[in-house]
Homo-oligomer: A and B are copies of this chain.
Amino acid sequence: MNKIPFKGVIAYPVTPFDDSETADILLFKKQVERLVTNGSHGIAPLGSTGVMPYLNDSEKEAITEATMQQLAGRVPTLVGVSNLTTDKTMYHAKFAEKAGATAVMIIPMSYWKLTDEEIIKHYDAVTSKISIPIMAYNNPITGGVDMSPSLLKRLLEIPNVTMIKESSGDIQRMHYLRKGLGEEVAFFNGSNPLALAAFSAGARGWCTAAPNLIPELNLALYNAIQENNLGKAQSLFYKQFALLKFIVAKGLAGSIKAGLDLLGVGGGGFKSPLKPLSENEIVELDSILSSIESEVYQY
C-alpha cells in the first residue's frame, strides 16, 4: 500500500442531478472524464463540492462506482465517506475500499460539537474496518468542528491516517503543521484562495474544484512551484485569483455547475434546498472566465 498516494492537483467533481433531483450518473462520468483528460493528478468524488451530505446511500454508492469505472485506474481516487454517525462512516468507508478507492477522506461532521476523544475514537473505529489510507479533513466552516494541530498530531498516530487536508483558510495552521508535526507530514490545502501561500508553505497538494473550469492555470501553478520558480507561480496565481475567490464566496457546487454550463459542458441540476446561482452571479462568473481566457491566450 502506498501510504501517501497523492500529490499535486486533486480535482473535485460536482454531483449533477436530473429533473427528479436524483444523481445523474451519465453526466457525472462525462465531467470526471474531462477532469482526468485535463491532467488532474487525482480525483475526489463525494466531497463538499459533490454535496455528499445531501445524497442518499444509493446515490453515494452509484457515484463511487461510476468514478472507478470511468477512471479505470488512470489516476488515484479519494472518496468522501464522512457521516454524522460512526456506524454509517464505517459502512461507506468499507464500500469505497471494496469499490477500489485509493484512499478515503473523512471529516468529523458534527451537529453536537465533538470532543477530541470522540473524534479519535471515531477515526479509530473506521480504521479498524479498512486497510486503505485515510485523509483527515479539517474544515471548521462546513464540518462545524475545528481540529487543533495537537489533535491532528494524535490522529496521525493512527496507522491508516497518513494525510491531512486543511481548509480552515489560515496559513498559520500550515506553518504549525509543517513545523510542529515534522517535515514529512503530508498536508494538503483545501482553501482555494490560499493556493499560493499553501504551496509556498510546503503543501504537498491542492484539493480543489477549480480544475472543472481552469485546469491549465491550476496545473501551471503547481508546476511553477515544482520548478522552484516563485515569480512565475505568483504571476499564475494572480491570473486565477478572481475565480478562486468567486467560487468560494458563492459556494463551490453552485459556482462550478454554473461554470460548466457557461463552458458548454453542462453542470446538471440541484437537490433542494440548494439552488443555482442568481442571474447576476452567473453574469459575474462569465465575465471572470472571459477575462481569464483572454489573459491566458496572450500569456
Contacts and interface: CB of A to CB of B under 8 A. Distances in A.
A172 B193 CA distance: 7
A122 interface: yes
Interface in A260-275: 271-275
Contacts of A171: 171, 194, 197
A21 interface: yes
A233 B231 CA distance: 13
Identical chains bound together, number: 4
Contacts of A84: 53-54
Interface string A182-216: 00000000000110110011100000000000000
Among A118, A178, A233, A273, residue most surrounded by chain B Cβ atoms (within 10 Å): A273
A129 interface: no
A297 to B, nearest CB: 20
A51 interface: yes
A253 interface: yes
Interface stretch (A35-43, A151-159, A222-230): A222-230
A118 B273 contact: yes
29 contacts: A51-B112, A54-B85, A85-B271, A85-B272, A86-B273, A87-B272, A112-B251, A112-B274, A114-B274, A115-B275, A117-B275, A118-B273, A118-B274, A119-B273, A122-B273, A171-B194, A172-B193, A175-B193, A175-B196, A196-B201, A200-B200, A200-B233, A200-B234, A201-B234, A228-B228, A228-B230, A228-B231, A229-B230, A230-B230
Interface of A: 21, 48, 51, 53-54, 84-87, 108, 111-115, 117-119, 121-122, 125, 141-142, 144, 169, 171-172, 175, 178-179, 193-194, 196-197, 200-202, 225, 228-231, 233-234, 238, 241-242, 251, 253, 271-275
